[in-house]
Amino acid sequence: MHYILEILPSLLSGAGLTLQVFLWTLVGSLPLGLILSLGLISNIKPLQWLINFYVWLMRGTPLLLQLIVVFYGFPLIGIVFPRYEAALFAFILNYAAYFAEIFRGGLQSIDNGQYESARVLRLSYAQTIRKIVIPQVVKIVLPSVGNEVINLIKDSSLVYVIGLGDLLRAGNVATARDVTLIPLLLVGVIYLVLTAVTTFVLGRVEKHYSYWK
């Protein structure tokens, strides 16, 4: 018990970094994903190709590789990111691609009649997207977005590889130093708590959207 209290501060500070990566990635990748998905359903072919290529690249290679390329590879061509920024950059670009695909599916499941209905009521395209399409898409994509959000909590441990002091690193350091499994077990418990809380929040959000069918 005494030992747990001793290592807890360093684990919690690692968890703090994990949460920061988590939150900033969501803040960046959700809007970016939405914008990309609007490009995917637009009629502008070159734009579609470009975004499709981007999505293919991001989803077709490991996030770990992307992280390493951004932090260790980019400096070779003169682009230097500090560790934390490199992590956010790679995570946001990667997750935006997944979200773009999810949103595209959601957008395409909206009946064309909804757009026509809005059109004959003389709503502008922007008003239609904001008032008619997005509220319906949010409900549709919520479960899939939720899955990605949970994945992101765990994926965030990949920042370990570029030397960021996240939760996993904090646990690993303590385990190596004190030759005991306890820190790693605690790390597992903290991840479980984080995912449990997130699952709960997502459940509430889904419930919030259950007032209509």
* Interacting residues toward other proteins by CB under 8 A: 111, 113-114, 116-117, 119-123, 127, 131-132, 135-136, 139, 211-213
Amino acid found at 116: E
Distance set, CA 146 to CA 4, 139, 143 (Å)? 32, 11, 5
| Smallest gap from residue 153 Cβ to other proteins (A) | 29
* Cβ-based nearer residue to other proteins, 134 or 184: 134
- Cβ(174)–Cβ(11) below 8 Å: yes
- Cβ(191)–Cβ(154) below 8 Å: yes
- DSSP code per residue over 98-140: HHHHHHHHHHHTS-HHHHHHHHHTT--HHHIIIIIIHHHHHHH
* Cβ-based nearer residue to other proteins, 117 or 180: 117
* Cβ-based nearer residue to other proteins, 138 or 173: 138
* Cβ-based nearer residue to other proteins, 108 or 180: 108
| Smallest gap from residue 103 Cβ to other proteins (A) | 17
| Smallest gap from residue 205 Cβ to other proteins (A) | 15
* Cβ-based nearer residue to other proteins, 31 or 135: 135
| Smallest gap from residue 102 Cβ to other proteins (A) | 19
- Spatial distance between the Cα atoms of 115 and 108, rounded to a whole number of angstroms: 11
- Spatial distance between the Cα atoms of 21 and 50, rounded to a whole number of angstroms: 27
| Smallest gap from residue 43 Cβ to other proteins (A) | 15
Output Rg (C-alpha) for the chain, integer angstroms. Answer: 20
